[in-house]
Structure 1
């Protein structure tokens, strides 16, 4: 399964430290390769965290039940409040996890229904799955590799010019609409501030790149 950064990882206290460690020990690699290695490291780290988190939820729930069953007292009330806070934080992490998959903004309205997010995410995955593609000969392909080659061939053909010489003749009759000064600005190198602003204006958990890291990761890490 391809790597994808999860928004709820940012709620784990060890996440930022893990990211910093993985980034610093791979300084000899270029940025894309460092991100790939970081993704592999975070995937292993997340598997351990998830196992610990599942155990923690059971422990917190049992603790809360035990406190409710105990003889009431002022001390027990304080313990119950603390236990409910701990359990609530753990549940919030689950909600963020499933809301990212559901791509829903309903979490901000206080909907605490993890089962709903789980079902909605599964439903979206089913709808978005491409099961078959036809090539230019109308031959159907259902294998992943064959569908990938069919897609690549389609767009290569779509964006390839069949008569570039004729196109150059047509361009001579097109009046330029972009000023030379504007064109100079468009041709300049991107500045660090511009990149940071663009990332922060993106949808936080939408459209991750090939490396699996979405805008939220970069906007938080780049502060």
Structure 2
């Protein structure tokens, strides 16, 4: 586990056999591809909801937005990105800053008692614990492990599961129809597009004098009335709150926990 955390992008390649009856194994410590941060889609971070100013911020932005609920949700994306940078801040930097301040205060208290510094120390410890809770929520959301209990702050375990999942899902190369390995990003993209275009297309065949059998069931009037009834908002709410809060988000990048909380 420690090795995997040191080399999260490491991968194994099996080389052809030559003189031996065993395939040589080549371990590459880095990936062939480098991710582009500007191409990543927006993803809402559940840890933001633990910030004391979050609810007020969402209310202000939502009230100023126009259009449907979905339109307003999309209009939250850029303000949330700015709020994350300017208000919420970087977790590692916040942790380092709090620990540095606590270190200085505790050294000063060793030289003599000070009521102001003692109260400040308690306040900073509470803030530090809050940051730890936010960090645990970050890793829990990214790891997508639903069986862990609320309040578990085993961030090393969360981090490792994320590394393993990303490594398992990452494609380093593909073999084309000629049996040749393709490793360049554009070639892999083209190969994948060609495969799915062929998979989901077919030749058009004309069928003349086609007689369709009576395979469609008759829908009774009670079922038809059920299909035509008005939308029940209470039913929608029950469905929304029945979704796991940290399940994969929708196309807007917001998981169910955001709507459940707001």
1:169 to 204, 209, 212: 212
Cα distance in 2 for residues equivalent to 1:67 and 1:188: 66
Cα distance in 2 for residues equivalent to 1:148 and 1:118: 30
* Matched residue, 2:254: 213
1:84-95 to 2 correspondences below 5 Å: 84-95=125-136
1:144-155 to 2 correspondences below 5 Å: 146=190, 149=193, 153=197
1:29-178 to 2 correspondences below 5 Å: 29-51=67-89, 53-69=91-107, 70-71=109-110, 75=115, 80-105=121-146, 108=149, 110-130=151-171, 143=186, 146=190, 149=193, 153=197, 157=201, 169-170=212-213, 172-176=214-218
- 5+ residue gaps in structure 1? none
What is the Cα-based RMSD across aligned positions, in Å? 3.9
CA shift at 1:181, angstroms?
0.8
- 5+ residue gaps in structure 2? 1-39
Higher relative contact order (CA 8 A, sep 6+): 1
Q: Which has the larger radius of gyration?
A: 2
* Residues 52/214 of structure 1: CA separation in 2 closer, same or farther (3 Å cut): closer
**Residues 95 and 107, structure 1, Cα contact 8 Å, conserved in 2:** no
* Matched residue, 1:5: 44
CA shift at 1:13, angstroms?
2.0
Cα distance in 2 for residues equivalent to 1:113 and 1:73: 35
Please report the TM-score for the alignment, with normalisation by the length of structure 1: 0.74
* Matched residue, 1:23: 62
SS in 2 for 1:36: helix
* Matched residue, 1:203: 244
Please report the TM-score for the alignment, with normalisation by the length of structure 2: 0.64
Q: Could you say which structure has the higher helix fraction?
A: 1
* Matched residue, 2:221: 180
SS in 2 for 1:190: coil
Cα distance in 2 for residues equivalent to 1:118 and 1:10: 21
**Residues 91 and 135, structure 2, Cα contact 8 Å, conserved in 1:** no
